[in-house]
């Protein structure tokens, strides 16, 4: 008689388990209504009104959460990366080093600026951008380095900032996954020249769409400010335009929602970290489904993904995809992040790049660690799973342990 649900046995979860997101209440409604009724739905035209707006308030509050006074709200995480790249002087003729294991934007944001991404591979243990691979990707055309804190687990900022400094290259931290994460007691996004964040619907702080750029100094912010506000300088009049740029401003309705969502965030972050510790300890006991390594330098862990590493050898050689299918049948949806290493997308594979960009001949670029992680090893849950109650999480562990105990049924 089959035990696994995929073979007709009883399911662990009668209904597929689902963690509702976003969490919202009357405070969010009131915050939105306040701006709505004020009739002032943008963040304002003068520097004073911009600072006094909900967006201005959010820049200060989110900046404080990560440990900087210099922040700039924008309308999503994609334009945040683009704006930071432009502020670092990226343009036609340059190369930008980018992570292969990330959401496409970490790499593709350089393309509209006329620059070519050069991929760096991931560390096999943490799945984060690897400092040696970044250094090997540097050429005389390199203008900036983009890294990601994949899933919210910080990349090795000690080693990566050392590489950036050694080669005198600006560093952009794509922190779209890492709201709240800290490295050695300071928020991620403050180690590089710029740190960019997304507040799109699925992120752990959200206003549906939204973004912010943390900037190393006031001067860095001024540079980004020009590109986010139609090429205006803060010091010039409303109709004085200095350079070609677009309008990346966030609305104050979203600013208000971000402020009220941010009030809930510390408590949600504490719940996520507590459940992360529980789930990680339980998965370690099962074996072959290891969480990312504990690291004392990670002093606070924000999440987009809960990541664990599947080891087929400890599951009788059964491939991760079969394991995921078996769990889906049990009512537990295990994802595999974005499914492919960015260099493998047709966007890059089919791109014709002038021959002198030798590291950007994408048809032949291989990122062995990232490709293997995506194809065979990486397993993810949404951060929302870490907001479930303990009985639900215990059943998550039970489902995984059940598949392992009955792995013979999958062979
Ligand atoms: C790593 C990373 N960078 C950038 C972005 C782009 O953010 P947005 O969707 O807000 O444009 C995302 C969005 O998921 C992301 O995951």
Q: For residue 296, how far is its CA from the centre of ligand 1 (angstroms)?
A: 27
Res. 234: pLDDT tops 90: no
Separation between Cα atoms, residue 306 and residue 383, nearest integer Å:
6
Q: For residue 2, how far is its CA from the centre of ligand 1 (angstroms)?
A: 42
Establish whether residue 152 lines the binding site of ligand 1, counting it when its CB lies within 6 angstroms of any ligand atom: no
Separation between Cα atoms, residue 398 and residue 411, nearest integer Å:
20
> What is the enclosing helix (H) or strand (E) of 326?
helix 320-330
CA 70 to chain centre: 20
- For residue 122, give the DSSP letter: B
**Could you tell me the pLDDT band of residue 236, with boundaries at 50, 70 and 90?**
confident
Q: For residue 26, how far is its CA from the centre of ligand 1 (angstroms)?
A: 28
Of 43, 57, 177, 300, the active-site residue reads: 177
Establish whether residue 338 lines the binding site of ligand 1, counting it when its CB lies within 6 angstroms of any ligand atom: no
304-338 pLDDT, tens per residue?
999 999 999 999 999 999 999 999 999 999 999 99
232 is catalytic: yes
Ligand 1 pocket test, pick from 79, 80, 103, 210 with the greatest ligand atom count within 8 Å of Cβ, gives 103
Strand order in the sheet with 186-187: 186-187, 182-183, 298-300
| Cα–Cα distance list, 245 to 87, 96, 104 (Å) | 11, 20, 23
35-90 pLDDT, tens per residue?
999 999 999 889 999 999 999 999 999 999 999 999 999 999 999 999 999 999 99
Q: Are 357 and 116 in contact (CB under 8 A)?
A: yes
In sequence order, the β-bridge partners of residue 335 are 380
Establish whether residue 78 lines the binding site of ligand 1, counting it when its CB lies within 6 angstroms of any ligand atom: yes
pLDDT over 90 for what percent of the chain?
95
> How much helix, strand and coil, in percent to the nearest 5, is found in the chain?
45, 15, 40
Separation between Cα atoms, residue 135 and residue 166, nearest integer Å:
10
Q: At what angle do helices 77-87 and 218-228 cross, to 10 degrees?
A: 120
200 is catalytic: yes
**Could you tell me the pLDDT band of residue 376, with boundaries at 50, 70 and 90?**
very high
Separation between Cα atoms, residue 107 and residue 113, nearest integer Å:
12
Of 203, 216, 223, 320, the active-site residue reads: 203
239 is catalytic: yes
Q: Give the residue, 309 or 234, on which the prediction is more confident.
A: 309
Secondary structure (DSSP) of 148-189: E-GGGPPP-HHHHHHHHHHTT--EEEE-TT-TT-EETTEETT
Establish whether residue 211 lines the binding site of ligand 1, counting it when its CB lies within 6 angstroms of any ligand atom: yes
**Could you tell me the pLDDT band of residue 233, with boundaries at 50, 70 and 90?**
confident
Separation between Cα atoms, residue 129 and residue 101, nearest integer Å:
8
Ligand 1 pocket test, pick from 78, 150, 342 with the greatest ligand atom count within 8 Å of Cβ, gives 78
Strand order in the sheet with 305-310: 289-291, 305-310, 378-382
Separation between Cα atoms, residue 220 and residue 215, nearest integer Å:
6
Q: Kindly report the pTM of this predicted structure.
A: 0.98
Res. 287: pLDDT tops 90: yes
Residues in the chain: 411
Separation between Cα atoms, residue 388 and residue 43, nearest integer Å:
36
Ligand 1 pocket test, pick from 101, 198, 209 with the greatest ligand atom count within 8 Å of Cβ, gives 198
pLDDT of residue 380: 98
Atom 7, ligand 1: residue with shortest CA distance: 77
- Domain spans in the chain, listed from the N-terminal domain onward: 5-19+265-410, 26-261
pLDDT of residue 19: 87
What's domain 5-19+265-410's architecture?
Alpha-Beta Complex (3.90)
Separation between Cα atoms, residue 257 and residue 207, nearest integer Å:
6
pLDDT of residue 108: 98
What's domain 26-261's architecture?
3-Layer(aba) Sandwich (3.40)
Residue located via tokens 């309308």: 75
Separation between Cα atoms, residue 400 and residue 81, nearest integer Å:
37
| Cα–Cα distance list, 150 to 153, 389, 395 (Å) | 6, 25, 26
pLDDT of residue 314: 98
Pick the atom of ligand 1 nearest to 209's CA.
Answer: 10
174 is catalytic: yes
CA 101 to chain centre: 11
Establish whether residue 77 lines the binding site of ligand 1, counting it when its CB lies within 6 angstroms of any ligand atom: yes
Res. 23: pLDDT tops 90: yes
């Amino acid at each position: 008689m089959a035990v696994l649900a995929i073979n007709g046995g009883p399911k662990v979860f009668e209904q597929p388990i689902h963690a509702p997101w976003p969490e919202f209440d009357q405070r969010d409604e009131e915050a939105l209504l306040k701006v709505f009724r004020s009739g002032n739905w943008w963040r304002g035209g003068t520097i004073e009104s911009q600072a006094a707006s909900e967006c201005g308030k959010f820049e200060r509050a989110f900046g404080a959460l990560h440990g900087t006074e210099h922040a700039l709200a924008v309308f999503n995480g994609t334009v945040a990366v683009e704006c930071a790249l432009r502020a670092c002087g990226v343009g036609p003729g340059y190369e930008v080093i980018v992570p292969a294991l990330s959401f496409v934007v970490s790499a593709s944001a350089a393309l509209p600026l006329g620059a070519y991404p050069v991929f760096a591979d991931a560390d096999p243990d943490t799945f984060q951008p690897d400092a040696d691979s970044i250094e090997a990707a540097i050429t005389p055309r390199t203008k900036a380095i983009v890294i990601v804190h994949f899933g919210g687990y910080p990349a090795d900022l000690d080693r990566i900032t050392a590489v950036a400094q050694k080669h005198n290259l600006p560093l952009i931290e794509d922190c779209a996954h890492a709201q709240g994460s800290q490295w050695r007691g300071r928020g991620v996004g403050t180690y590089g020249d710029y740190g960019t964040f997304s507040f799109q619907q699925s992120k752990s702080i959200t206003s549906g769409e939204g973004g912010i750029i943390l900037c190393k100094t006031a001067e860095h912010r001024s540079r980004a400010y020009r590109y986010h506000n139609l090429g205006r300088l803060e010091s010039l009049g409303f109709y004085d335009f200095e350079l070609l740029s677009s309008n990346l401003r966030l609305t104050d309705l979203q600013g208000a929602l971000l402020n009220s969502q941010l009030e809930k965030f510390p408590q949600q972050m504490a719940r996520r970290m507590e459940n992360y510790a529980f789930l990680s300890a339980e998965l370690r006991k099962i074996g072959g489904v290891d969480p990312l390594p504990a690291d004392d330098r990670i002093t606070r862990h924000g999440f987009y993904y809960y990541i664990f590493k599947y080891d087929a050898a400890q599951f009788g050689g059964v491939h991760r995809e079969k394991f995921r299918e078996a769990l889906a049948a049990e009512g537990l949806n295990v994802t595999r992040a974005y499914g492919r290493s960015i260099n493998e997308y047709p966007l890059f594979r089919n791109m014709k790049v002038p021959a002198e960009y030798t590291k950007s001949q994408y048809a032949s670029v291989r990122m062995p660690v990232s490709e293997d992680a995506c194809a065979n090893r990486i397993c993810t849950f949404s951060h929302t799973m870490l907001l479930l109650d303990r009985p639900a999480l215990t059943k998550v562990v039970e489902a995984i342990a059940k598949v392992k105990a009955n792995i013979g049924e999958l062979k």
